[in-house]
Structure 1
Amino acid sequence: MGIRNYLIEGVSGTGKTSVCTELQRRGYHALHGDRELAYQGDPETGTCTDSATHENHIWDVDKVKALVASQNEAATFFCGGSRNFSKFIDLFDGVFVLEVDLDTLNRRLELRPENEWGGKKAEREFIARLHQTKEDIPRNGNIIDATAPIEHVVDEIIRQSEVNKR
C-alpha cells in the first residue's frame, strides 16, 4: 500500500464512497474499506458474528496492518467506517473526518434505496443521532467540509495530505 496511509471516516452519508471513487479516478491508490475490508464481527475480539448490525460492522485488523506495512504506493487512502477503528487508527499518517450539516445528510440519505444502509427511516434516524453525538467517528481527525462538490472535497484532502508529508 502506501508509504503514507490515510483514513477517511465520517458517518453514513457524508461521502466516503464518493471520495474514494474520485481519488481512484484521479489515479490515487484508494480502498473502499466497506467493500474490501469490512465484515460483521465483534468490535473487541474480531470474532465473526451472524448479527448484521451497525455495531458489528468492523474491518479486518490484520489485513489493515498488512496493507499499511506494504509500501508499494506513495500514498494510500482507506475510505469507510468501522466500529473497531481504535484497533488500527494509530497506524495512519493522518485521519480525515468528513462532515456535513444535518439537512445535507438527510437529503443524501433520502436518495438511498431502501436496501442500502441508511435507506430505511429507522436507519436514517439512527444516523442522524450519530451525526449529532459523533460517537462513531475518530475524535482527532482533520475535519473536511463534505458539503462542497466532491472535486473540492478531494482537493482539500489531497492538499492536507501533501502538507502532512513534509
Structure 2
Amino acid sequence: MGRVLVTGMSGTGKTTLLEELARRGFHTVDTDDDGWTLADGSWDAIRMAALLDRHPDVIVSGTVDNQVDFYDRFGNVVLLSVPLDIALQRVSTRVNNPYGRTEPERIEIARYTEEVEPLLRQSATVELDGRLPVPELADRVGALAAPSSSP
C-alpha cells in the first residue's frame, strides 16, 4: 500500500516535508488546511475515508485524536520528531502557520510533546528525525510511498 501518514508535533517539519514531496510529484494532503479538521480537533472522518477510498497513493500529514481510526488504511505511519527546543524555535519563526507564537500555545506544544508524542511513537511504523535535510526526509518518505515498499 502506497499510502503514508506523516504525523508529529507542531514544529517538526511536516508541512515543509509535504511541500517537498508535492514538488516531487507526490499526491499530498496537509490536513491542517482546507477544512480537514473539525472544530473538535478530529479529522472529518467521512471526508478522510473518501480520500483514502479514492487514492491508493496519497501522503497525508496531520496529528489529530481520531487518526488512529485510519491507521489500517496506511502502509506506513511516519512520526516526524525533533527536540522540544527546536520545535518551539521553529514555530516562533515560521510564516506559513501562526500556531505556536503565543505563550499558551507554546505551553500546549510542550504538553503535547510530553503526553502525545510517546503515544504516536508507539504506533508509528517509522520515526524520522525532523532535523535531517528536507531532501533526505523526502527521499525516505517517498520510498515508503512507492508501490514496491507496500507490506
TM superposition shift of 1:39 = 2.0
Q: Does 1:164 align with 2:149?
A: yes
CA 1:136–1:35 in structure 2 vs 1: closer, same or farther (change >3 Å)? Answer: farther
After TM superposition, the runs of 4+ consecutive aligned structure 1 residues lying more than 3 A away are: 135-138, 160-163
Larger of the two Rg values belongs to structure: 1
User: What RMSD, in angstroms, separates the aligned Cα atoms of the two structures?
Assistant: 2.1
CA distance in structure 2 between the aligned counterparts of 1:136 and 1:81, rounded to whole angstroms: 11
CA 1:160–1:91 in structure 2 vs 1: closer, same or farther (change >3 Å)? Answer: closer
Q: Does 1:39 align with 2:21?
A: no
Q: Which amino acid aligns with 1:80?
A: G
Q: Does 1:123 align with 2:105?
A: yes
Runs of 5+ consecutive residues of structure 2 not aligned to the other structure = none
Q: Percent identity?
A: 28
Runs of 5+ consecutive residues of structure 1 not aligned to the other structure = 41-55
TM-score scaled by length of structure 2: 0.85
Q: Which has the higher contact order (CA 8 A, sep 6+)?
A: 2
- For the residue of structure 2 that corresponds to 1:123, the secondary structure is helix
Q: Is the 8 A contact 1:130 1:136 kept in 2?
A: no
Which structure has the highest strand share of the two? 1
- 1:95 match: 77
TM-score scaled by length of structure 1: 0.78
Q: Is the 8 A contact 2:7 2:79 kept in 1?
A: yes
CA distance in structure 1 between the aligned counterparts of 2:86 and 2:137, rounded to whole angstroms: 15
Deviates more, 1:85-94 or 1:130-139: 130-139
- For the residue of structure 1 that corresponds to 2:122, the secondary structure is coil
Q: How many residues align?
A: 146
